[in-house]
Amino acid sequence: MRFETETIAAVATAMSNSGIGIIRISGEEAINIADKIFKSVKKNKKLREVKSHTIHFGHIVDDDNVIDEVLVSVMRGPNTYTCEDVVEINCHGGIIVLKKVLSLILKNGARPADAGEFTKRAFLNGRIDLSQAEAVIDVINAKNEYALSNSVSQLKGGISTKIKEIRDSILNEIAFIEAALDDPEHMSLDGYDDKLKSITKNIIDELYRLIKASDNGRVISEGIKTVILGKPNAGKSSFLNAVVGSDRAIVTDIEGTTRDTLEEHINIDGISLNIIDTAGIRDTRDVVESIGVKKAKDLANEADLIIYIIDSSKELDDNDRDIMEIIKGRKAIILFNKSDLETKVSREDIAVDDSIPVINISAKNQTGINEFEESIKDMFFNGELEFNDEVYITNARQKNDISNAYNSMKLVLNSIEDGMPEDFYTIDLMNAYELLGRVVGEAIEDDLVDKIFSKFCMGK
């Protein structure tokens, strides 16, 4: 069993050769342990005597052996990341020296930190709530500037503030109902149903907006799962090469060259696309190619976005009509490739929803790519990628708890409309309150907390 009062230590930077490496110590003995191995350039200067949030130059020593020349930061709790005393030793960034200094710290009384334990202590000591703690790992893992901006917004309490406002509103109504039921002589529930109905509808709307925004949040965090469809030799691989900026896919004049999938991660103006090139869709007796065609169709069913590439220099056929059936009702962009040649296909020939954009491109000449990129921004973010006060849920655990709270509030509304007694309301109100408490960590099981923080890196 780990005890939260123990002093912990870990390397807080990557274990690789670099200019600087940092070892973090946290706990009530952090400063005393550092004092045992640090020798200041100024004689007899002890870290336990210095002011908080100061930096000191000296050496890490093991008896009389100097291990490294360092800068040591001393920060006393509660005004630290963990709310405990924290010491950070800035060493030279060699793997050997970091290991030697860490080993010396452990020898003098600290224990190795578990994965994410520094942030876990920040959560347990009340410095941040659980949604902010989860935002820390999102900041570290951010794949693009918008994922980073959203994670920083969460770290600053964007989700926490919204959730706490909703919980306060729910708790006020629970308290009023309980008080009125306990003291009917002084508190009346006459006409209260209409008031609660209005409040409940507002909360349902707020929760719905959070749930709906989670789709954009997932796209921001994980990237848009994008599948390229088209007949053989329509230019799918050439298009992939054009947007990637290198010859990743094999391009030939031979139909059926692409038989398996090829996946690339690309960044378009800060938007991440996880883009998959697939086998050309057509009827074929080739066993290997037919497996590739089936795989392409399966991937299309799971995609956030389908890019349907048409060779506009050739007339459409039954294979094209099969692809049109696949993209019906889906987010898709149709690209008329080879637009530098004589065109034999028009928008009127495409039997899909008029809302699906159709763009003329030439993968060979790399024309129309900018218009394609603008279409993606319009499709997923209504052309706006600036973060104002919008809260994006990117965490599946948070979305699940918010969705369940939404369902509980819908049950409250049903009870009101069915004329149920007021004490029925409190059951579902309390359930919604506790579910939202799980989002910020005010009502959550210890094993789930451990599971969440186990995903963190060792020094965080």
**Among the three residues 357, 381, 405, which one is the final residue of a domain in this structure?**
381
Element (H, E) at 326: helix 318-327
Return the pLDDT at 253.
43
Mean per-residue pLDDT of the chain: 81
Return the pLDDT at 26.
96
Helix (H) and strand (E) counts in the chain? 14, 13
Average pLDDT over residues 138-147: 63
User: Residue 420 sits in a domain of what CATH number?
Assistant: 1.20.120.430
283 confidence band (pLDDT: 50, 70, 90): low
Average pLDDT over residues 295-320: 85
> 89 with 144, same domain?
no
Which conformational region is residue 255 in: left (phi greater than 0), alpha (psi within -120 to 50 degrees), or beta? beta
Return the pLDDT at 256.
44
* Total count of residues recorded for the chain: 460
What's the rounded Cα separation, in Å, for the pair 338 and 234?
Answer: 8
> 369 with 396, same domain?
no
CB 340 within 8 A of CB 262: no
Q: What percent of the chain has pLDDT over 70?
A: 80
Phi/psi at 325 (5° precision): -65, -35
> 178 with 226, same domain?
no
Residue 97 lies in a domain: yes
Three-state secondary-structure class, residue 8 = strand
Domain that holds residue 354: 221-381
Residue 459 has pLDDT above 70, yes or no: no
Least confident stretch, 142-151, 173-182, 210-219, 249-258: 249-258
Average pLDDT over residues 234-239: 82
Q: Can you give the pTM of this predicted structure?
A: 0.61
Least confident stretch, 141-145, 226-230, 315-319: 141-145
Listed in sequence order, the residues at least 6 apart from 112 whose beta carbon sits closer than 8 Å to its beta carbon are 8, 9, 10, 106
Least confident stretch, 109-123, 200-214, 284-298, 348-362: 284-298
> 16 with 46, same domain?
yes
> 242 with 356, same domain?
yes
Return the pLDDT at 168.
93
The type of residue at 342 is: E
pLDDT per residue as tens digits for the range 395-441: 778 889 999 999 999 999 999 999 888 888 999 999 999 999 988 88
Residue 222 has pLDDT above 80, yes or no: no
Return the pLDDT at 215.
65
**Among the three residues 107, 129, 151, which one is the final residue of a domain in this structure?**
129
Three-state secondary-structure class, residue 142 = coil
The residue ranking higher by pLDDT, 152 or 8, is: 8
> 225 with 208, same domain?
no
